[in-house]
Amino acid sequence: MEAVEKLGYRPNPNARALMTGRSGLVGFWMCLQYSRYRSQVLDRMRGLLGQTELAMAVTDIDEEYHWDHSFNRSLRVPVEGIIAFDASDSIQALGQVYDRLAPNTPFVSMGIYWSNAKSYVGVDLRAGADEAMDHLLSTGRRRIAYVVPFNSSLVEEGVRVEAYREKMAAAGFAIDTILTHGVTSAEVGVDLAARLAESPAPDALLCMNDDLALASSVALTKLGVHVGSDIAIVGFDGIQETEDCPCPITTVKQPIDEMCALALRFLKSQMEDPLRPLQQQILKPSLIIRDSSKG
Amino acid sequence: MEAVEKLGYRPNPNARALMTGRSGLVGFWMCLQYSRYRSQVLDRMRGLLGQTELAMAVTDIDEEYHWDHSFNRSLRVPVEGIIAFDASDSIQALGQVYDRLAPNTPFVSMGIYWSNAKSYVGVDLRAGADEAMDHLLSTGRRRIAYVVPFNSSLVEEGVRVEAYREKMAAAGFAIDTILTHGVTSAEVGVDLAARLAESPAPDALLCMNDDLALASSVALTKLGVHVGSDIAIVGFDGIQETEDCPCPITTVKQPIDEMCALALRFLKSQMEDPLRPLQQQILKPSLIIRDSSKG
DNA sequence: TTGTACGCGTTATCAG
DNA sequence: CTGATAACGCGTACAA
């Protein structure tokens, strides 16, 4: 111990990890595509892991690159367990690919995609989307438009557009999709202004996420349209900013804290007991009704 | 290779790391305290590393826990290099502690704190704070208040309050600090309303960061105070949201992209050549003047 | 081209 | 309880 102190000796983490099989690392897989929601989830998980002895290794799993590349890089980092967050195609490919690649590494997926072959903490965003549509329809909105960036996969796929189309069809109203060429209020403003110039103008916007809802709200206000009375806005995800803005925005709030805490709990229990059976739970998002859709 | 395919063999990352000395991991040290700026920096670094073969291991270095605990946990993860972001006390302690603990691990600090004993990409926020104060004073503001959460270390320390006090003293105006009990617009609103009830009311707010500036802007608007004409607001950090909001906010913008890219470049070059001499560079923030302080 | 032995630095085990 | 030694799994160098 004197020698340790005198020579400034430090254990080699790699050798220790090789011997013990424990690296102290949890892999966090997410896609590179930025959104404030994803950023908040990342930060939340960072906070939770900050209270433990574990550290977080963040890697991205993106379809942009080849699967092999993404997976290989992700699997090259010595993790004791993996949490995959909103890994869309990842999850689909996972059943086929993952078991070959890291069959013994504890794995939990988290978010709106899941596979029954794996442990997960799912969020039933479809239920939330249905609720949001019911809310808009029951408060008298008829010309509801779905707002989404033109290059998003959510234009045609996903629970949001599915709920939108089915609810509109059931109510007998026409579909109206507004494609934006960006998510800033300036960009969204251009597209909304163009759409509002046509008639009939929409009386409600179902925005693909809160970033877009916030941008739309700011853009509409600048266009002289009164959010909440002239037009309703609903977003998805429930980020803090929707509450803390001039006109609080109705949103389908994902249970960030509970989702993260539960996913980490599942993962830790699997890390302690690798033979533990799958743990699967679905959480419900909650529709938070605020001024943007009350009027 | 057939056997590899057939048996689903995967190299053991720990053994590989032990042998090669390379884990493919870059340690990212930051404090747990959340701000949107920190979150955006984290996300930016995630994006940069996502384009490389490296992954990011995020650990927090916080004073809340004992130094030993934080350092030990951080150093237990097998990283090839370390980027320390806005590590305040860390940096000060680093000169004394770090060399004992990980003398051979490439290290670059990034942000508004640095130590001449290490490589760094610094941001001269004092210059930005001075510029912000000059801007407010030169546009006729005299009753400038400094807004900061009551429990922040920035109440008394740091370049913001230093610039504020010196510039106010030089101009012959009185100091006025508004302590908030939170950073949401609701919380900030209570404290601002209380202060505005007293006279003389401030004609400008120098907010400790953009989160607070945004919250103040929303809160003041709700109080019926017209931001930009009745009162000016200036924030720090330059997060995207300051531009994309009803009344765009003047801010001291930190060069996030350049800072992250440069820090990573420094680190990679040190990882390739451990004998490389220290690399040190100071970046200047830029004052972005917007509507919140024009009127 | 194919195979074998050694070393990386630690932890764990077993004999003294 | 202390001290020597095996083993973790991969990369590499050297021999066949």
**Res B94 pLDDT > 80:** no
Sort out which chain B residues have CB atoms less than 8 A from A62's CB and list them: 50
pLDDT at A214: 96
Q: Which of A:75-134 have CB within 8 Å of B?
A: 75-79, 99-103
Residue ranges with strand state E in B86-240? 107-111, 119-123, 144-149, 177-180, 204-207, 232-237
Closest chain B residue to A18, measured at CA: B14
pLDDT interval class at A1 (50, 70, 90): low
- What is the average pLDDT value for chain A, to the nearest integer? 91
pLDDT tens figures, B114-152:
988 889 999 999 999 999 999 999 999 999 999 999 999
**Res A281 pLDDT > 90:** yes
Domains A2-123+255-285 and A125-253 share a fold: yes
Cβ A18 to strand D below 7 Å: yes
**Res A131 pLDDT > 80:** yes
Q: What is the mean pLDDT of residues B22-32?
A: 91
**Res B172 pLDDT > 80:** yes
pLDDT interval class at A53 (50, 70, 90): confident
Q: How far is the CA of B8 from the C1' of C10 (A)?
A: 28
Cβ of A230 under 8 Å from any chain B Cβ? no
**Res B20 pLDDT > 70:** yes
pLDDT at B91: 65
pLDDT tens figures, A188-207:
999 999 999 998 999 999 99
pLDDT at B70: 72
pLDDT at B40: 94
Q: Which amino acid appears at position A115 of this protein?
A: S
- Option in B74, B78, B240 nearest A17 (CB): B78
pLDDT interval class at A61 (50, 70, 90): confident
- Nucleotide of closest approach to A12 (CA, C1'): C9
User: How close B201 gets to chain A, by Cα (Å)?
Assistant: 22
- Each domain of chain B, given as residue ranges in start order, spans 2-123+255-285, 125-253
CATH of region A125-253, choose from 3.30.750.210, 3.40.50.2300, 3.40.50.300, 3.30.565.10: 3.40.50.2300
pLDDT tens figures, A83-113:
999 987 666 666 566 666 667 789 999 999 9
Closest chain B residue to A185, measured at CA: B244
Task: Report the predicted TM-score, pTM, of the whole model to 2 decimal places.
Answer: 0.91
Q: How far is the CA of A21 from the C1' of C14 (A)?
A: 22
pLDDT at A92: 63
B232 vs A4, higher pLDDT: B232
User: How close A173 gets to chain B, by Cα (Å)?
Assistant: 32
CA A222, A228, A231, A232 dihedral sign is positive
Q: What is the mean pLDDT of residues B225-245?
A: 95
Q: How many CB pairs under 8 A join A and B?
A: 152
CATH 3.40.50.2300, domain B2-123+255-285, yes or no:
yes
Closest chain B residue to A241, measured at CA: B184
